[in-house]
Every structure is written in C-alpha cells, then in structure tokens.
Chain A
Amino acid sequence: MKVEKSLPQGVGKFTPGWIVFIAVAMVVLIIGVLAYLYEANMGLIVTGMANIGTQGGATWGLYVVMVEYFIGVSLAGIVLVAFAHVFDIKALRAISRLALLLTTCSLMVGLLAVLIDLGTPIRGIINMILYVRPQSPFFGTFTLVAVGVLLSSLMYLYLDGRRDAAYLADIDSGLRWYHRLWAAGYGDTQAEQERHRRTMFWLSILIVPFVIVALSTEGLVFGIQVGRPGWFGALQAPDFIILAAASGLANLIVLTAIVRRVLKDDSTLIGPAVFKWLGGLLLAATAAAVYLQIVELVTMLYATPGNERLLADALLRGPYAWIFWSGLFLVVFGLTLLVTQAARRQWSLGVLIIASVAISTSVVAERYLTVIPSQTHGMMLPYEPGSYFPTWVEFAVVAGMFALGALLIGLFMKVFPIIPLDGKRAEQEVLVDA
C-alpha cells in the first residue's frame, strides 16, 4: 500500500463547475472592460453623469456609489479577524482567510472604481502623489485606505498563510514553487510560532483603530461638505462605518455559505458556531444602522430648512422614494429575520442568507441615496432639481467589477486553501492500492 498526499480543499483541481464559474466571470469581466474602453474613448458623455446644477445632473454617479459600497464591505473582514486574534475566538478561525480575502478583493475593486470614476486616472494618480492635501478627506482615501488598509490586509493574509504554505510546500504538486515562495523558509519551530503569534496580536491591535480612522474618511468625504444639503453632518462617518460593518458581514455570510457548499467534503470545517457568530454580529450592526437611519430621518423631518426640505421630499415622496422605501423595507425585513433567529437561538443557514442578501441590497440603496440625491436635489444655488440614472455603460462596468472580485476569490481558492489548515487538519491523505 502506498500513501500519497494531495493538496487539500480542492487546491489545484479544476472541476467542471469551477471552470464554468470562471468562464462566466471572465465573460462579464470582458464586457465590463469593453464598456470601460468605450467610455474612455467616447468620454463621460456615455454615462448618465452630468454637471450639477447647470446640466441638472450628478458628477458622482454609480461608480462612487460602488466605491462607498466596496470599501465599506472591506471593513468587516479585517476587523473581524483582528477581533478574533485579540480575543482568541477560535470559532472564527475557520473563516479568517476568507474574511481577509473578502477585505482584499473588495478593497481592490473599490479602489479600481475610484480610478474608473476619474475619467483620466493616470493624471489623477500623478496629481495625488504630488499634491493631495491632508485637509481633504480624499487624502485619507488615497493614503490610509488605498495603501494602509490594502497593504495591511495583504500582509495579514500573507503572514497568516505562511504556516499552511510551508505544509503545502512539502506536497509534490505543480504549485510547489508558489507555496515555497509563500512559506519563505518557515519551519514551524516553536520560536517561529511564538513570533507569529506576537506579530498577529500587535498587528491586530494596530489594525482596528487604523481601519476605523481610514474608513471614516470615506464618510467625511460627504460629511464635511457644508454647501451640500443632506451631506453635511456629524453622523456621516459613524454611519459609513456601521453600514460598512453590516454590508461586510452580510457579504461574508453569503460567501462563507457558498464556500461551504463548494468544499463539499471539507464543508464540516465551517461549523454552525461560525454562522452563529456572524449572525449575531450582523444583527448588532444592522440594528445600529437602523437606529442611525431613524435618527437621520427624524432630524431631516423636524423643522427642516428649505433646501433640506426639498431633499427630504425627493427622498420620501419624489423620484428617489422607491429606492428609499425599498431599502428601508429590506433592512427591516433582514433585521426581523435576524431577531427571530436570535430569539429562537437557532441560526438557519437559509434564513441567514436571505437576511444577508436583503441587508446587503439595502446598503447599496443607502449608499446610492447618500451619493446621488444631494447632487440633484440638494442645491444651495437657485438651480432646478436635476436627475441621474446610470447608463448601460455604467451597469456593465460595475458588473465587471463584481466579476473581477469573484474571479480573484475563485482563483485564490485553486492555489491556496481557503480554510486554514492549522497543523493536524492539513494531513489529507489519499490511500492508493500499491
């Protein structure tokens, strides 16, 4: 009898289902790239964006909505992993790599959305590194978020994977060189384990406040604009963080459920405790988000000055009412499902996924309502109310962004185990008759 070791969790194995998934994602991505090239060639005229006031449009459209959404989604993963490290929550260990991957991919896609929105991205990047001013919240976006958070999540992902990479490097496979490179000489000695534990602990301590500060700048981009009704306010930054937590956790739940299904034999590695934790945290974040929405709504409706009133009417009864009420319905629906689950102390995966999809969709609606209406209906100058609706080009580019994120996650799962192996579990042996 001969014993052979194979790569765990389907790494290096290209199943028909995975090939179809990659093919579909590639097609959508190519459509997105072609749409962007068309936009780059023809100019922003092919989008629904137009000047505020004079052209009755919005200069920040669906791309900026997606910047806010994707960067928001990135928050939960890294904070959750840092939280799990500091408080040694073993139940969340199984999804730590998945959470970091979600953070990294959504950040990459979110930052790509910033560049796509710029129109002339190269000029934007050059001017940013030469002139960006710390007085502008964009300074935070371009430095703390684009470099700091992205780099720290990549580093976290890399360092946390070295032990598994060292194990995989011992298995004879076509990916051996890659796993050796990742392991970078890791030998799993006691000293290395201790160093790794220390690094992860201090990195986690550093990352939580760093990420909160960095991502708050996304809310401040809107919150400090005095001349724009609907944007100016102290709640924008905390609101961004809370919604980010809700959308990030919701996406993580859906992604975890998908990965669990895809892994088949290894699905037991993601136990019910993981979903119980994620469900509880999503419940807390969503409840806080609903509370903030109510506070904002009450403030908006109480003795509102003229310009704010126009905006409130547009949101509650005007052209944005269907988005506002749909978003509110979805978040309340999702919250109700979560409360019901928590009250029963039983977390059904199906119900959790429905609640997560509802909450994530409501966050997209909320981001849309944060970015757009204040430009079309939040004017201090005597312009007529404007309008904005994305064109097929913008929808195609955004679909391409989602496809890119899915593609990155799908590809990663074929080169590295998505669930940490943690030593003993790594041993997956296939017995073959000699």
Chain B
Amino acid sequence: MRRTLTMLFILVGLGLMVVGYVSSAPWGASSVADSNPDFLGAPTVFIIGIVTVLAAALVYELLPARDDDRVG
C-alpha cells in the first residue's frame, strides 16, 4: 500500500510536470501570437507536478503502518 501510493504520487507528479511544461508555451512556434499557454494556468500544473513528486517522500515516510515490524 505504502509503495503503491508512493509510486502513484511520483507517476502522477511526473505526468503533471510533463503536461504543465509542454502546455505552458508551444515549442517551435514562430509567431509571437502563439506565445500564450495552451490553457490558462498551465505553469501552475507544472508546479503542482513538482509538489506531487516531492510529496511522495512524505507519503512513504508518514503513512501510518498497519504492522510496524514490517519494512516496506
């Protein structure tokens, strides 16, 4: 459960980072008119992605253990 949730946080975070990054402004666009993000607040999605990836460490360490003798 702990590992699954941690991995989920990492993967979702990375996904959000990719979406936020590529949507923040189109790469290779030659016109200034294309300089706005694909959707408003796309950079925020990137930021939320960073926070989610880092939060994986908190999830891994802070999630209460059902049986504390087990390591994992």
Contact = CB atoms under 8 A, between A and B. Distances in A.
Interface of A: 128-135, 139, 142-144, 147-148, 151-152, 155, 159, 162, 184-185, 187, 189-192, 194-196, 198-199, 202-203
Given A147-B50, A151-B50, A195 B60 contact: yes
A169 B60 CA distance: 22
Contact of B71 (A133, A143, A194): A194
Contacts of A152: 54
A323 B43 CA distance: 39
B62 interface: yes
A196 B61 contact: yes
A134 B25 contact: yes
Nearest to B48: A147
Contact of A130 (B35, B41, B54): B41
**9 closest A-B pairs by CB:** A133-B25, A132-B43, A129-B44, A194-B71, A148-B50, A189-B68, A191-B71, A199-B61, A134-B24
B15 to A, nearest CB: 16
Interface residues of B, number: 27
Given A133-B37, A159-B57, 20 more contacts: A129-B41, A129-B43, A129-B47, A130-B41, A130-B43, A130-B44, A133-B35, A134-B25, A143-B47, A144-B50, A147-B51, A162-B61, A189-B68, A191-B70, A192-B68, A194-B71, A196-B61, A198-B60, A199-B61, A202-B57
A131 B64 contact: no
Contacts of B65: 191-192
Given A131-B43, A133-B24, A191 B69 contact: yes
Which of A130, A142, A185, A194 has its CB near the most chain B CB atoms (within 10 A)?
A130
Interface string B28-72: 000000011100110110110011001001101110110011110
A159 B58 contact: yes
A143 B61 contact: no
Which of B27, B43, B65, B70 has its CB near the most chain A CB atoms (within 10 A)?
B43
Q: Is the interface of A mostly helix, strand, loop or mixed?
A: helix
Contact of B64 (A133, A151, A162, A185): A185
Contacts of A198: 60
Contact of B61 (A133, A135, A159, A187): A159
A155 B54 CA distance: 8
B23 to A, nearest CB: 10
Contacts of A190: 69, 71
A255 to B, nearest CB: 25
A187 B41 CA distance: 41
Which of B64, B65, B69 has its CB near the most chain A CB atoms (within 10 A)?
B65
Nearest to B2: A195
A147 B51 CA distance: 7
B64 to A, nearest CB: 7
Contacts of A189: 68-69
8 contacts: A130-B37, A134-B21, A135-B27, A151-B50, A155-B58, A189-B69, A192-B68, A199-B60
Nearest to B23: A134
B9 to A, nearest CB: 13
Contacts of A155: 54, 57-58
A371 B50 CA distance: 29
Contacts of A129: 41, 43-44, 47
Nearest to A158: B58
Nearest to B69: A191
Nearest to A136: B25
B5 to A, nearest CB: 13
A131 B36 contact: yes
Nearest to B29: A135
Contacts of B69: 189-191
Nearest to B45: A129
Nearest to A184: B62
